[in-house]
Amino acid sequence: MTEMERNLRNKKIAEKVYFSMCGLFMILTIAVLFWILYDVASKGYSTINWTFLTDRPREQMTAGGIWPAIVGTFYVASLTIIISVPVGITSAIYLNEYASKGTLVRVIRLSIRNLSGVPSIVYGLFGLGLFAATLGLGTSLISAALTLSIMSLPWVITASEEALKAVPQSFREGGLALGATKWQMIRQLVLPNAISGMATGSILALARATGETAPIILTGAAFFLPALPTSLSDRFMAMPYHLYILATQHMSPAQVRPIAYATALVLIAMVMGLNMVAIIWRYQIRKKQTW
């Protein structure tokens, strides 16, 4: 074997070793995810049954179910999406369709990226100070939903912009060249082709909002409520907060551990389910798209 061949062989071996090490870390990442999923699923599934999903917590949360928390999470997440999606979409339409490149747009984009980096607990504090205390909405469903809406705004804007960017420029040119006004062009050629992308982005935002805990602790989630919220100014139970309470605030944590696991499993199922829906839908759209 010549010097060169040996050299080459050594290099190939080194490549294998290094890349295998990198791959090992990738495997570790995936392993952690699946291990968590497995742990939660294996310890949580036996507690889940119809009663668990439809009954309220009983006997200091050591029995019964999590129905009020499911409903509360559903309410607050839906309200969040109802508020943030229209605002986020209009904002994205401005950025992608109306704005011309310049300082203003740069500042707007910078603000969006900064908003997405603000810690969720700071949003909670802000929501507490503005909606609950200053505007007098109190700790309530609406305060929490407004807080989560502001928090999810940058996600919705970014996703909507992506959907708008995916619409070919040639549709816009074709429309304008036929004498469409800008709004006619957006309304009839851009939005119909971006709307499903916006929807999947919004579902992803919904999934993230569903799992958020810190902001709602400060703005409206309740430790325990026997009844479901009936108005926007009621407080509510929420899945993530319920899990937090079962895990840390309960007087006999060991006794409620199975319930905590089951709650975690339902929460994960909700978040991942929404995520899956979005991913599959996105895939379907891409497959169907002819342009």
Partner 1 sequence: MSDNGVIFSTEALNLWYGKNQALKNINVNIKMQKVTAIIGPSGCGKSTFLKVLNRMVDLVPNVKYTGSVNLQGHNIFDENINLVNLRTRVGMVFQKPNPFPKSIFENVAFGPRIHGKHKKSELNELVEKSLRQAALWDEVKDRLNEPGLSLSGGQQQRLCIARTLANEPEVILMDEPTSALDPAATSRIEDLVRSLRKHYNIIIVTHNMQQAGRVSDETFFFLNGELIETDRTEVIFTNPKDNRTEEYITGRFG
Partner 2 sequence: MAKLDEADFYKIQVQKQPAVGTSSRKMQDDLTQQSIKSNLGNFILEKFFLICGMLSIFVLLLILYFLLKNSWPALQEVRISEFIFGQRWMPSSPNPGFGALPLILGSIIITVGALLMAVPWSLAAAVYLGEAAPRLIREILKPVIEVLEIFPSVVLGFIALVVVGPFIARVFNLSSGLIGLTGAIVLAIMALPTIISISEDALNSVPKDYKEAAIALGATNWETARYVSIPAASSGIVAAVMLGFGRVVGETMAVLMAAGNALDMPLKEILNIPVPTLMQSMRTLTATIAIEASDVPWGSTHYHALFVIGVVLFVITFLVNLVSDIMLSRFQEVNRND
Q: List interacting residues with partner 1 (CB under 8 A).
A: 100-101, 168, 170-181, 184, 188-189, 192-193, 290-291
The reply to whether 60 sits near partner 2 by the rule CB under 8 A is no
* d(C-alpha 178, C-alpha 174), whole Å: 6
Which of partner 1, partner 2, none interacts with 175 (beta carbon under 5 to 8 A by kind)? partner 1
Mask of contacts with partner 2, 247-276, x by CB under 8 A?
xx--------x--x---x--xx--xx--x-
Choosing from 6, 31, 33, 174, the residue that interacts with partner 2 (CB under 8 A) is: 33
- How large is the angle between the packed helices 141-165 and 67-93, nearest 10 degrees? 40
Burial (CB count <10 Å: 0-12, 13-18, 19+), residue 71: middle
Which of partner 1, partner 2, none has residue 66 at its interface (CB below 5 to 8 Å by kind)? Answer: none
Asked if 150 contacts 209 with a C-beta cutoff of 8 angstroms, the reply is no
Residue 26 interacts, among partner 1, partner 2, none and using kind-specific CB cut-offs from 5 to 8 Å, with partner 2
| Residue 114 binds which of partner 1, partner 2, none (CB < 5-8 A, kind-dependent) | partner 2
The residues with which 236 forms a beta bridge, in sequence order, are 221
Q: How many CB atoms lie within 10 A of CB 2?
A: 7
Comparison of 50 and 225: residue with beta carbon closer to partner 2: 225
- Kindly report the number of other CB atoms within 10 A of residue 78's CB atom: 14
Q: Assess 279 for contact with partner 2 (CB under 8 A).
A: yes
Stretch that binds partner 2, among 52-60, 126-134, 192-200, 224-232 (CB under 8 A): 126-134
Q: Any idea which residue has 């607990």 for tokens?
A: 121
Q: Which does 207 bind (CB under 5 to 8 A by kind): partner 2, partner 1, none?
A: partner 2
Using CB under 8 A as the binding rule, whether residue 178 contacts partner 2 is answered as: no
Q: Which is nearer to partner 2, 195 or 272 (CB)?
A: 272
> How many whole angstroms from its chain centre is CA 223?
23
**What distances in angstroms separate CA 265 from CA 53, 106, 221, 241, 261, one per listed residue?**
12, 42, 20, 14, 6
Q: Could you tell me where the DSSP H helices lie in the chain?
A: 3-44, 50-54, 67-93, 103-117, 120-127, 141-165, 169-177, 182-185, 191-211, 214-219, 239-244, 253-288
User: From the list 140, 160, 200, 210, which residue makes contact with partner 2 (rule: CB under 8 A)?
Assistant: 210
Cα–Cα dist 272/10, whole Å? 45
Distance CA 260, CA 266 (A): 10
Residue pair 154/115 in contact (Cβ under 8 Å)? The answer is: yes
Binding to partner 2, residues 140-169 (CB under 8 A): 150, 153-154, 157
User: Cα-flanking dihedrals φ and ψ of residue 123, to 5°?
Assistant: -60, -40
Would you count residue 244 as binding partner 2 (CB under 8 A)? yes
Task: For the CB of residue 121, give the shortest distance to partner 2 in the complex, in Å.
Answer: 4
Q: Residue 102 interacts with partner 2 (CB under 8 A)? A: no
Q: What is the number of other CB atoms lying within 10 angstroms of the CB of residue 116?
A: 14
Regarding 192 and contact with partner 2 (CB under 8 A), the answer is no
Radius of gyration of the chain measured on its C-alpha atoms: 24
In the list 121, 135, 178, 195, the residue contacting partner 2 (rule: CB under 8 A) is 121
Task: Report the residue from 159, 212, 237, 256 that binds partner 2 according to the rule CB under 8 A.
Answer: 212
Binder of residue 291, out of partner 1, partner 2, none (CB less than 5 to 8 A by kind): partner 1
Q: How far is the CB of 179 from partner 1 (least distance, A)?
A: 3
